Amino acid sequence: MTKVAVILSGCGVYDGAEIYESVLTLLALEQEGCEYQAFAPDIPQAHVINHLTGEVMDESRQVLVEAARIVRGNIQDLATANPDDFDALILPGGYGAAKNLCDFAFKGADCTIQPEVLRFCKAMAAQGKPLGFICIAPAMIPQIFGEGTKATIGTDAETAALIEQMGGTHVSCPVDEFVIDEERKVVSTPAYMLAGKISEAATGINKLVKTVVRLSK
């Protein structure tokens, strides 16, 4: 049975993992007959956003603790993840991917990736295993895979330009499709970078999951 690692970045679109994207990913994996294990880095969130008002709140939360909400507590510290145990890796989006898994939201093309995230992603890539990136998470692709790697965040020109600046090759993509770099086994889809409703995000995510699973065989 294909076993897939999923890295979450908290809980909630504005400061953590996008909940719809995360759940759709897990559902699609289950429907493909895969086993999955969720991980998150055990670090403080960049900040906490009130999802009712959009304002920054005067409190701190841990990425791992918050991400545990999405998976009913079935999550592990990313520092303990062993790439030998998995056939593939998927990273859902949400601002947490660009604030907690890396600092792209704050530093753009000068961003760095959180060390445990970078370690695990690079280790999986080095073993020739497929990786899937959803929504804004593909912003990390150039730093993980190097220059010329194909990626998409949809059609946002400003974000696409930053990915190109980091050495990636951005490919415009509609919400219900995905982009694949066959050589490096990297798959990306826009999801809520473009989606207006959950069903639109689901179409692209389902295709991404199917493709990642196919590449893992």
Active site residues: 135
Position 59, amino acid: E
* Spatial distance between the Cα atoms of 113 and 161, rounded to a whole number of angstroms: 19
* Spatial distance between the Cα atoms of 43 and 116, rounded to a whole number of angstroms: 10
Residues 5, 87: contact at Cβ < 8 Å? no
User: Which distant-in-sequence residues (6+ apart) come within 8 Å of 153 by Cβ?
Assistant: 135, 136, 138, 139, 159, 160, 163, 170, 188, 190, 193
Which region holds residue 18: left if phi is over 0, alpha if psi is between -120 and 50, else beta? beta
* Spatial distance between the Cα atoms of 137 and 186, rounded to a whole number of angstroms: 12
